[in-house]
Structure 1
Amino acid sequence: MIRRLSELLDREERGRLRRALLGTAVSAALQGAAFALLVPLLRVLLDGGRPERAWPWVAALAAVAVAHAVVTYPSVVAARNTGYALSRSLHDRLGSRLVRLPLGWFSGGRVGTVGRLVTYDVMNVMSVPAHLLEPLVRATVTPVCMVLVMLVADPRLGLAALACAPVIVLVHRVTGRLVQRAEHAADAAAAEAGARVVEFAREQPVLRAYGRTARGVREVDDALVAQRRAGRRMIRVALPGLAGFALTVQAAFVLLLLLGTHLAVGGTVDAPALLALLVLAARSAEPLSSAAELGAALRMAGNSVDRLQKVFDTPPLPEPDTPERIRDSSVRLERVSFGYGDEPVLRDFSLTVPPGTTTALVGPSGSGKTTVTRLVARFFDVWEGTVRVGGADVRRLAQQELMSRLTLVFQDVHLFDGTLEENIRLGRPGAGEAEVREAARRARVDEIAARLPDGLRTRVGEGGALLSGGERQRVSIARALLKDAPIVLLDEATASLDTENEAAVLEALEALTADRTVLVIAHRLETVRGADRIVFLRGGRVAESGSHDELLARKGPYAAFWSERERARGWRMRAVPQSEDERGRSCTTSS
């Protein structure tokens, strides 16, 4: 465990950990020496002789106690500082690693897993040097010192104590392994429960719209029940093991007591020496009893190290040693194949978006439209083929260089729990106040700010909960305007907005996409008529491409898709009367 822990520390922290371990070991040995001095001291005091002969032993005991205090203080401070430094280092490393992992890693129950990593697991690991090593070393070194003293004072009792050691070690190891396995299951259940609770809180609008209460959410209930069962299972496994270990330690002490009594009755050991040795045996039992709990905690910390190391070992998207430079704002995919599992989503896919043009991706759900934009932004690396931005393979670009040239605006907008201004400034943190306000004006966020008590300095709540969907989208576009990147990847953001917000967002998008290279995923076909080129995807391939009029004239897949959408739109128009006469006729008919 110490070796694995050292791998998580830098050179300075490893040196501090070694000093803490050495100091703790010396401190524990001094504590053992202090108790060893009780043997001659008690002999002098209890043999009926002159008490003044005890003063040298008292002086030696006092000297050892002072030395113990002098050694203990710096070792404890070093151990605590190592723990705090380890916590800071782990959080830094986790943050650096998470931002470099492929987006595909953040799926399923990863939200709960990451939450457990940065809280429970980091705290577990930092507690090893800060809180566990010192008592664990004492629980090991002090009893060893006392057994050595017993071997010197009375070899028979010392050998008896030594014979009990393998049994105690065996029970300790078995207990630790049982706790380790049970804790793995409990942690997995806790991570799953955490992910389900976060999902439950995040999806409250949908759940309430359909009348689903907490009692009725099966996924949350099942996850919490599984967590409770896993916790109980760990307790059922741990408690018998801990109790069995304590019983083994006490049984060993009773055996020593019986042996000592037998030797005293037989006259082969004097009573003062027996009393002193039994005091040592009793004092050894105390730290040994706590060793089981400390060992279980150490095993759980080892599990935490494994989980953290698994994240650190997950390969990030590789960065080139000699990165290329972006020459223009073109986007090109060349014979790309890629998927999220075993089945490919894109198959031999090629696409070219010339600089300063707008290309719209159209197609049925699952055809690979969103995947194309994710590959351009290098959220994943392709299986086969090449993705080029500005003429350079994205795998040969520094991530910072690539992202500085891209602006991403998607339907699922996330705002941080800060002010409107802070969320806009995320696009370019170094921007001046005038630039932030200009971006807000162009995205019509200033209209939102005018209705709020603190204007742009109004907090938007977690995830932007205090704003509507259209308002959140306007903030994200203001953020993109402030960034002012030459390439825009746009997952059309108006598909589910009301008329007022749709008009505002479309106006903001017009400002965002002017004179830029735009790759837009189109959900509402009416909005792509003006695109320079429309690419229709089907089954992960380009079925056809061209302008709107050209594709309609061909009467191919795009024309059929367009006709189907037009029929659906006409049905909606008939289903929702627009004029008063239509509403009146509808009411008359229904009556």
Structure 2
Amino acid sequence: MITMLLRVLGHECAGPVRRTVALMAATAIAEGLSYALLVPVLRALFGSEPGDAWPWLLGFGAAVAGFAALRYVADRSGFRAGTTLLHGMYYRLGDHLARLPIGWYRPGRIGEVSVLVSQGVLQAMSVIAHLLAPYISASVTPLVIVAVMLTFNWQLGLAALIAVPVVAVIQARTGRATTATDTERVARERAATGRVIEYLQAQPVLRAGGRTAERFELLDDSLADLQQASRRATFAALPGVLGLAVTVQAAFTSLLALGAYLAVGGDLGAAELLAVLVLAARCADPLLSLAELGGSLRAARAELVRLDEVLRTEPLPEPPEPRQPAGHGVEFDAVTFRHGDRTVADGVSLSVPDGQRLAVVGPSGAGKSTLLQLLARFYDVDAGAVRVGGVDVREMVAADLMARIAIVFQDVYLFDGTIEDNVRLGRPDATEAEVRDAAAAARLDEVVERLPGGWSAHVGEGGTLLSGGERQRVAIARALLKDAPIVLLDEVTSALDPVSEAAVHAGIERLMAGRTVVMVAHRMRTVRRADQVAFLDGGRIVEQGSHDELLRLGGRYAGYWDLTQVVQY
């Protein structure tokens, strides 16, 4: 458990964790040893001179005070380590998730990651603050008390010692029996979380289609599966809980019977018998808590395993000796990329000189957006190379590559903050004048003027309080503020009304000026201004040339052009 915890946290956290564990173990030992003083105290109290018990009582009080001080220090250390590690774990997990390939975020990951970063991280990090101290106390203190019993009466100590392996076996078997059901319960919990998120996100579509009741039935089935899995997990743990309770009670009863037998035979005094029974009773409480603590630790360990799996997922590799590009030209050199069993890009070769514009057009599913993602290194190619300024993007540091690229997607995501906060994501250290200039160039100032609150207006989660055209203007202003030499545009005006499209198009023209541009577009207004056009179909370049050259060729692009003119008409 500790090994897994250290692997998840990182070796830099080994020192505080080991110190905390050592303090907790010392506290448990001190607690067990303090109870040893009960025997002389009771001997004196039941002897001919009860006043002789005072020194032992003072010693017992001092021992308890020492144990209390150790317990305070250990608990404080546990809480401080727990909160520090929790804070660090969130940062470590967030940094790692940001470096994972986009392909890792397959469908269903939203529910898994949301459970992991909320409930999972809290449960895993609670081990240090809440679970480790009572578990160590429940495991170590009874062993120390058994050792104390052996020193006072070997028969009773040996009888108590026999129960130790029985308790250990019950704990081990309970853990094995509940592992499968716990895994199933967690899987059902993740699936149910994903269904809830899906149900909430799909409300507009479901209500428009009149399918709300049916969709709720699917969510209800998922929650019912979770309930059944939780019930199975409870029943799987029940034999262990009952077995542990029966074992502890049987051991206590055996000690009582053996002690009575020894006392009747004259081999054990009444004071010693009472002391041993008090010690045995003190053993019973922590042992009985082992079942609950063991279940909580197994659940926490399962979350640690899942955290470990995520953290061990390899991000895109960084080059050991990074190279710096000489310019901002873009090149796709015989690029091949596969997504699962499907070849999305098949031997694509394109070159965009510094400061020129390339438009990529073609039918849906042709692999157009994938080229932009490969250029931004959301994925690594399976064959060939993608170069910026003559340097393979795999030979550049990710931060350096992204500093040279501004991206405007078709679906813009805005964070739940103000408009200014979302624009400043492009360059947080920009001055107020620079932010306002970028907004004016993107025609965002028109939006700001009519919104209550102006620049302080909140956009809502995902930007839901703004229209599609307004979100696009925020994204363009953000890209303008970033002032990157390479611009990637992914069908940014395909779903806008004419008024919004005109405003966004003006911002795009300002954004593209003097920069290397790779755009995916359906609107021919933008394509005609490109220096070259590539028609992509089935992951391959079918035709390539300028707009006029391809029209004269009368091939696939010319047919596509004619079709778009008919549709627009």
* Map of 2:256 onto structure 1: 257
State how far apart, in whole Å, the 2-side matches of 1:492 and 1:83 are: 47
* Map of 1:105 onto structure 2: 104
Q: Per the alignment, in what secondary structure is the counterpart of residue 558 of structure 1?
A: helix
Contact 1:19 1:75 in 2 (8 A): no
* Map of 1:467 onto structure 2: 466
- The structure-2 alpha-carbon separation of the partners of 1:217 and 1:354, relative to structure 1 and needing over 3 Å to count, comes to farther
What code does the residue aligned with 1:31 have? E
What code does the residue aligned with 1:27 have? T
* Map of 2:530 onto structure 1: 531
What code does the residue aligned with 1:23 have? L
- The structure-2 alpha-carbon separation of the partners of 1:214 and 1:237, relative to structure 1 and needing over 3 Å to count, comes to farther
What code does the residue aligned with 2:5 have? L
State how far apart, in whole Å, the 2-side matches of 1:189 and 1:311 are: 19
* Map of 1:346 onto structure 2: 345
What code does the residue aligned with 2:43 have? R
Contact 2:182 2:299 in 1 (8 A): yes
Equivalent residues in 2 for 1:471-486 (5 A)? 471-486=470-485
* Map of 1:400 onto structure 2: 399
Give the gaps of 5 or more residues in structure 1: 574-591
State how far apart, in whole Å, the 2-side matches of 1:3 and 1:548 are: 62
Q: Per the alignment, in what secondary structure is the counterpart of residue 233 of structure 1?
A: helix
* Map of 2:436 onto structure 1: 437
What code does the residue aligned with 1:478 have? A
1:15 aligned to 2:15?
yes
* Map of 1:61 onto structure 2: 60
Q: Percent identity?
A: 50
Task: Give 1:543 deviation, angstroms.
Answer: 0.8
1:239 aligned to 2:230?
no
Contact 1:180 1:300 in 2 (8 A): no
**Higher mean displacement: 379-388 or 516-525:** 516-525
State the Cα deviation string for residues 335-365 of structure 1 (Å, max 9, x = none). Answer: 1111121332111111111222221111122
Equivalent residues in 2 for 1:348-363 (5 A)? 348-363=347-362
Task: Give 1:506 deviation, angstroms.
Answer: 1.3
* Map of 1:159 onto structure 2: 158
1:314 aligned to 2:321?
no
* Map of 2:492 onto structure 1: 493
**Higher mean displacement: 149-158 or 375-384:** 149-158
Task: Give 1:177 deviation, angstroms.
Answer: 2.8
* Map of 1:412 onto structure 2: 411
Report the RMSD for the aligned CA atoms in angstroms: 2.0
Task: Give 1:174 deviation, angstroms.
Answer: 1.5
State how far apart, in whole Å, the 2-side matches of 1:442 and 1:214 are: 47
State how far apart, in whole Å, the 2-side matches of 1:502 and 1:204 are: 27
Task: Give 1:9 deviation, angstroms.
Answer: 4.5
Q: Per the alignment, in what secondary structure is the counterpart of residue 99 of structure 1?
A: helix
Q: Per the alignment, in what secondary structure is the counterpart of residue 271 of structure 2?
A: helix
What code does the residue aligned with 1:488 have? V
* Map of 2:88 onto structure 1: 89
State how far apart, in whole Å, the 1-side matches of 2:12 and 2:407 are: 41
Contact 1:215 1:221 in 2 (8 A): no
Normalised to the residue count of structure 2, the TM-score between the two structures is 0.95
1:31 aligned to 2:31?
yes
* Map of 1:198 onto structure 2: 197
Task: Give 1:234 deviation, angstroms.
Answer: 2.1
State how far apart, in whole Å, the 2-side matches of 1:492 and 1:539 are: 18
State how far apart, in whole Å, the 1-side matches of 2:7 and 2:52 are: 53
* Map of 2:336 onto structure 1: 337
Task: Give 1:503 deviation, angstroms.
Answer: 1.3
Task: Give 1:566 deviation, angstroms.
Answer: 4.4
State how far apart, in whole Å, the 2-side matches of 1:562 and 1:23 are: 75
* Map of 2:448 onto structure 1: 449
Task: Give 1:391 deviation, angstroms.
Answer: 1.2
Task: Give 1:392 deviation, angstroms.
Answer: 0.9
State how far apart, in whole Å, the 1-side matches of 2:314 and 2:458 are: 37
Task: Give 1:86 deviation, angstroms.
Answer: 1.1
Task: Give 1:377 deviation, angstroms.
Answer: 0.3
Q: Per the alignment, in what secondary structure is the counterpart of residue 536 of structure 2?
A: strand
State how far apart, in whole Å, the 2-side matches of 1:6 and 1:496 are: 49
State how far apart, in whole Å, the 2-side matches of 1:460 and 1:9 are: 36
Normalised to the residue count of structure 1, the TM-score between the two structures is 0.92
**Higher mean displacement: 139-148 or 29-38:** 29-38
Task: Give 1:526 deviation, angstroms.
Answer: 4.8
State how far apart, in whole Å, the 1-side matches of 2:356 and 2:219 are: 47
What code does the residue aligned with 2:515 have? R
State how far apart, in whole Å, the 2-side matches of 1:511 and 1:11 are: 49
State how far apart, in whole Å, the 2-side matches of 1:457 and 1:300 are: 44
What code does the residue aligned with 1:42 have? L
State how far apart, in whole Å, the 1-side matches of 2:153 and 2:95 are: 59
* Map of 1:580 onto structure 2: none
State the Cα deviation string for residues 451-505 of structure 1 (Å, max 9, x = none). Answer: 1111121111111111111111111111111111121111121111112111111
Task: Give 1:536 deviation, angstroms.
Answer: 1.0
State how far apart, in whole Å, the 1-side matches of 2:207 and 2:481 are: 36
* Map of 2:40 onto structure 1: 40
- The structure-2 alpha-carbon separation of the partners of 1:379 and 1:495, relative to structure 1 and needing over 3 Å to count, comes to same
Give the gaps of 5 or more residues in structure 2: none
State how far apart, in whole Å, the 1-side matches of 2:462 and 2:201 are: 9
Contact 2:8 2:307 in 1 (8 A): no
Q: Per the alignment, in what secondary structure is the counterpart of residue 345 of structure 1?
A: strand
State how far apart, in whole Å, the 2-side matches of 1:421 and 1:21 are: 47
Q: Per the alignment, in what secondary structure is the counterpart of residue 343 of structure 2?
A: coil
What code does the residue aligned with 1:46 have? F
State how far apart, in whole Å, the 2-side matches of 1:430 and 1:348 are: 41
Q: Per the alignment, in what secondary structure is the counterpart of residue 537 of structure 1?
A: strand
State how far apart, in whole Å, the 1-side matches of 2:476 and 2:217 are: 37
State how far apart, in whole Å, the 1-side matches of 2:529 and 2:70 are: 79
What code does the residue aligned with 1:82 have? A
State how far apart, in whole Å, the 2-side matches of 1:222 and 1:476 are: 40
